[in-house]
Amino acid sequence: MRLDKKSCSEEWYRIVEEIMGCIKCKLHKTRRNPVPGEGPCNAEIMFVGEAPGGKEDETGRPFVGAAGQFLTELLSMAGLRRENVFITNILKCRPPNNRDPEPDEIEACKPYLVRQVKLVSPKIIVTLGRYAGRILLGDAGIKWSNMTRMHGKVFSVELYGVKLKIMPTYHPAAALYYPKLKPVVIKDFKETLKGLVEEIREEKRNTNRVKKRHTILDFLSS
Ligand code: SF4
């Protein structure tokens, strides 16, 4: 697990410590390593998947298997670098044989994600897979229908007190398993997410221009 020490607060270390020793649901009995997530705590973009798989359970890091490699490629198509985004899952421990998360596990584990969202306070969350999409959009007051209809759409919401945009898309593992989904996911990253990233960069440029102008005016009037 890699942490960006410079940008992380004590709260992040508290969350990690609690997850590392967590026994709040039955998954603690079968996991090898919990997977809290990784990335800068001031990341503007956060990715939320479903749960760790075999490689993640082995290493304690999110998205490190084949799906992780594909995610890194997708990030680069959206103009992003993996080390600049925050990546985590709804569940922090692997369900046996990668089965679907169960309601009691989601209920027990979700408070960690809520704290992560509040701490990172991202501008965009990309949900990967139907569980993450249904849960996060549901908590933001948006009714989930199905992935075919929801993927690639952008929802401006308030989630856990943070104003942000959510873009649901397919899980990279699903896109690897069903090749016909691959171009669909690529389009979501390459077009929709890239557009959102550009918007954030443009906003930043404008804020910096205004700040610079104020500094010059302050200097001239002093
Ligand atoms: S999945 Fe979440 S709630 Fe369950 S043991 Fe792991 S960290 Fe705790």
Q: In terms of C-beta density within 10 A (0-12 exposed, 13-18 middle, 19 or more buried), how is residue 144 classed?
A: middle
pLDDT score of 204: 86
Contact 108 CB / ligand 1 (< 6 Å): yes
Q: In this structure, is residue 51 part of a structural domain?
A: yes
Average pLDDT, whole number, for the chain? Answer: 93
pLDDT over 90 percentage in the chain: 85
Q: Helix (H, G, I), strand (E, B), or coil: what is residue 48? A: strand
Domain that includes residue 152, residue range: 10-194
Our count of domains for the chain comes to: 1
3-state helix, strand, coil in the chain (%, to 5): 55, 15, 30
Let me know how long the chain is. Answer: 222
Contact 36 CB / ligand 1 (< 6 Å): no
176 vs 173: CA distance, rounded Å: 5
Q: In this structure, is residue 222 part of a structural domain?
A: no
Q: In this structure, is residue 163 part of a structural domain?
A: yes
Q: In this structure, is residue 18 part of a structural domain?
A: yes
Q: Any idea what the CATH number is for the domain that residue 85 is in?
A: 3.40.470.10
Q: In this structure, is residue 210 part of a structural domain?
A: no
pLDDT in tens, 61-110: 999 999 999 999 999 999 999 999 999 999 999 999 999 999 999 999 99
Span from the CA of 187 to the centroid of ligand 1 (angstroms): 33
Q: In this structure, is residue 87 part of a structural domain?
A: yes
Q: In this structure, is residue 176 part of a structural domain?
A: yes
- Is residue 2 over pLDDT 70? no
pLDDT score of 15: 96
Q: In this structure, is residue 188 part of a structural domain?
A: yes
